[in-house]
């Protein structure tokens, strides 16, 4: 089933936007012969902020749909993620500033937002960063969550800032690590209830509960 048909069934709001704003051009992009081709043509739409917003909404709507587990669908899902990754990177000439990305209930597979910047983060449900690696600054300052956020086994290489973050429940940082020790002078602000332990032999320091 074509991506356009799937999105139309799942998200009528995105369809309304596509029909209302420049329908011929955007319909050609979103209703291409194959889903892979659709994603490539969507990536090339840079004419105006409205087109960017609509395309980002369509891609997010696709990622919010339950995955069917097929190899083709996995590749399409990763291609959609790649498009959003490069357009959220401030240092990329293809950067699309001011995007609102709604990943509510989305299933993200091997996504890499390296170097990307999000000005505000709102977790509306369970958010999993299990075994994630943050090579750059992990800035969660002001983040809000109405549910559990899980950083189990995560690794924080650079600065970490959870200042003013509001979590409905204590974040899970079991077996999470920070370091190595040559970065120990960097500024790190952990969520309430967690502190940094002493470095292990490999230079990485574990996160420890304070209660």
Task: Give pLDDT tens digits for 141-199.
Answer: 888 877 888 999 999 888 888 888 888 888 999 999 988 754 555 567 888 899 988 88
Stated as kind and residue range, the H or E segment containing 28 is helix 23-30
Q: Are residues 187 and 126 in the same domain?
A: yes
Residue 207 near residue 172, CB atoms below 8 Å: no
Residue 165 lies in a domain: yes
| Structural domain that includes position 183 | 120-211
Are 85 and 128 in the same domain?
A: no
Whether the pTM exceeds 0.85: the reply is no
The reply to whether 109 falls in a domain is no
Quick: pLDDT tens for 81-94. 888 888 887 777 78
Q: Are residues 62 and 18 in the same domain?
A: yes
DSSP E strands, 79-181: 122-123, 127-128, 133-134, 138-139, 144-145, 149-150, 155-156, 160-161, 166-167, 177-178
Number of domains in the chain: 2
pLDDT of 114 reads 67
The continuous run of DSSP H or E covering 196 comes out as strand 194-196
């Amino acid at each position: 089933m074509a991506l356009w048909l799937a999105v139309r069934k799942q998200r009528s709001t995105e369809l309304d936007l596509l029909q209302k704003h420049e329908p011929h051009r955007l319909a050609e992009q979103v209703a291409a012969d194959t889903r892979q081709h659709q994603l490539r043509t969507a990536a090339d739409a840079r004419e105006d902020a409205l087109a960017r917003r609509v395309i980002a909404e369509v891609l997010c709507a696709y990622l919010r749909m339950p995955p069917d587990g097929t190899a083709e669908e996995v590749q399409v899902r990763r291609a959609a993620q790649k498009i959003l990754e490069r357009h959220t990177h401030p240092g990329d000439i293809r950067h699309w500033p001011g995007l609102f990305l709604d990943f509510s209930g989305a299933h993200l597979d091997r996504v890499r937002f390296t170097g990307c910047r999000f000005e505000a983060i709102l977790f509306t449900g369970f958010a999993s960063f299990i075994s994630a690696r943050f090579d750059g600054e992990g800035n969660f300052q002001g983040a809000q969550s109405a549910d559990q956020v899980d950083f189990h086994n995560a690794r924080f290489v650079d600065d970490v800032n959870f200042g003013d973050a509001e979590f409905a429940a204590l974040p899970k940082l079991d077996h999470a690590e920070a370091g190595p020790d040559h970065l120990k002078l960097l500024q790190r602000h952990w969520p309430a209830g967690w502190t940094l332990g002493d470095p292990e032999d490999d230079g990485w320091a574990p996160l420890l509960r304070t209660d």
